[in-house]
Amino acid sequence: MAKSNWTIDPAHSEIGFKVKHMMFTNVSGKFNDFQATIENEDDRFETSQISFSAQVNSIDTNNIDRDNHLRSADFFDAESFPLISFQSTGINKINENVFEISGDLTIKNVTKNITLEVEYSGLMKDPWGNIKAGISLSGKINRKAFGLTWNASLESGGVLVGEDTKLTAEVQFIKE
């Protein structure tokens, strides 16, 4: 068996999230500075070990005031906890192109095991001879479980920021 190493192609990848605002609309955001690697056997996705990290200061919700609030101690506390990381612990093949990846997600030094659904698009050679792999990831976490507890009550009842956070990623990897 031959080991393969893959690195993320940041120009063709996006790591994002959505959270309910005022209990009825979603606010989207993304991280602009991130790294990820995959190591697997014979280019088989189901044998992959995946590592990911994102710089908290790179959070981008298209609103500078909100981004600064998210970087503050009320939320991510980027000064004390500059990285969000994920390390896979297992992959379960559901069918030919769908997998579940389990792994340890760390936010603010709190680590929880999560499961993400992955659609694997397969391998393709680009016009410059690079072998690429494409994946789409999705999942959901409760932000409070990671110490992201800030909120504000609404006059009409409910809260300003939802607890559930939807995670999404569209990612291309390049074989080294």
Domain ranges of the chain: 4-175
Q: Flag whether pLDDT at 156 surpasses 90.
A: no
Compute the distance between CA of residue 13 and CA of residue 91 in angstroms, rounded to an integer: 21
**Antiparallel, parallel or unpaired: β 83-93 and 59-60:** unpaired
The percent of residues above 90 in pLDDT, for the chain, comes to 89
What pTM does this model have? 0.93
- pLDDT, tens digit (0-9, with 9 covering 90-100), for 98-118: 999 999 999 999 999 999 999
CA distance 168 to 118: 10
Give the CATH number of domain 4-175: 2.40.128.110
In the predicted model, is pLDDT for residue 86 greater than 90? yes
Query: Are the CB atoms for 16 and 32 separated by under 8 Å?
Result: no
Q: Which residues make Cβ contacts (< 8 Å) with residue 95, sequence separation at least 6?
A: none
Provide the sign of the torsion angle of the four alpha carbons 38, 91, 45, 95, taken in this order: negative
Return the pLDDT at 22: 87
Kindly tell me if the per-residue pLDDT of 158 is higher than 90: no
Residue 77 CA, distance from chain mean position: 18
Mean pLDDT score, 124-128? 95
d(Cα 78, Cα 75) in Å, to the nearest integer?
8
pLDDT at 176: 93
The CA distance from 73 to 6, in Å, is 34
